[in-house]
Amino acid sequence: MAFEGTTAIVTGGASGLGLAITEALAARGTKVAIFDIQADRLEAEVARLRGQGDTVRGHVVDVSDRAQVTGAVEQTRTELGPVLILVSNAGVVQFDRFESITDDLWERVMAVNLRGPYLVTQAVLPDMRTARWGRIVNISSSSSQGGQERMAAYVSSKAGLIGLTKALALELGKDGITVNTIPPGMVVTPQLLGEISKGNFTNSLDHFAKLTPVRRAGRPEDIANATAFLCDDASSYITGQIIGVNGGRRT
């Protein structure tokens, strides 16, 4: 299966890690549909990418809503062809003492971070099964490996995503579909900088860099490059794996 010309969906692809992943796939000739809830940002980024010659479409989608997901996937098929690459990146963060977490907050974090990948994967799976080729990359979090205080809902949702990855890899391998997960470490994105400014991370980026063997924080392109490799035909013998892109902090 040629990597170029294949259709991909990137959820949460209008900013941060998702945008870097979208750019990396599009630069390799992949047609990309971005699913994102940020309408204005989505419109601007799609216009920019299309202006530089990339084949990109944008759909305003809440990935936790099955009807919205189904409709957007069907439209993507019509516009760009069968979906054979899925990067589930959309997510919401949470910072609260455990006893302060409400049912509504817990359910929203689970809805976006875990139900979202479940819904989008179900929607695109028929295309991959028909082609007997598919690539699914779930963006989890290194916090799900080591834990993180005041983030119990988020950590639980991302740990669930790792479990979903491993289960699907076993189930779908015979159909030529690989499923892997990347748990990013400390990666500089607008969201991370915003949380640091709010005091949700009490240490600076320089502090985290000093704790990292490669002595720097991650960049969005670090995650994007690893994702692009996992979507390539060259990665066909890699499935069910946790590919840590974290500068060596968690090995």
Q: Does pLDDT of 251 surpass 70?
A: no
Q: Residue 152's domain is classified under what CATH number?
A: 3.40.50.720
108: Cβ contacts below 8 Å, ≥ 6 apart:
64, 92
Structural domain boundaries, residue 13? 7-184+220-235
Confidence (pLDDT) at 1: 58
| 187-246 pLDDT tens trace | 877 776 776 777 776 567 788 788 889 999 899 999 999 999 999 999 999 999 999 998
Catalytic residue among 64, 154, 178, 188: 154
Question: Per the domain annotation, does 176 fall within a domain?
Answer: yes
Q: Is residue 197 in a domain?
A: no
User: Does the residue 45 lie in any domain?
Assistant: yes
Q: Does any domain span residue 98?
A: yes
- Which residue type does 224 have? A
pLDDT of residue 203: 66
Residue-wise pLDDT tens digits, 44-74? 999 999 999 999 999 999 999 999 999 999 9
Residue 213 lies in a domain: no
User: For the segment 153-192, what is each residue's pLDDT rounded down to a tens digit?
Assistant: 999 999 999 999 999 999 999 999 999 999 998 887 777 6
* Coil/strand/helix, residue 141: coil
Residue 170 and residue 193: Cα distance in Å, rounded? 37
> Which residues on adjacent β-strands are paired with residue 178?
135
Whole-number Å distance between alpha carbons of 45 and 32: 12
Distances (CA, A) of 131 to 104, 125, 163, 179: 39, 10, 25, 16
| 237 has catalytic annotation | no
Q: Would you give the distance in Å from CA 52 to the centre of its chain?
A: 23
Query: Band of the pLDDT at 104, cuts 50, 70, 90?
Result: very high
Q: Is residue 136 part of a domain?
A: yes
190 in a structural domain: no
Structurally, the chain folds into a number of domains equal to 1
pTM for the full predicted model = 0.95
Collapsing DSSP states into helix, strand and coil, what is residue 167? helix
**Is residue 2 predicted with pLDDT exceeding 70?**
no
103 vs 110, 111, 116, 155, 161, CA distance in Å?
11, 12, 18, 16, 20
Any idea which of 111-120, 145-154, 176-185 has the lowest mean pLDDT? 145-154
Whether 214 maps to a domain, the answer reads no
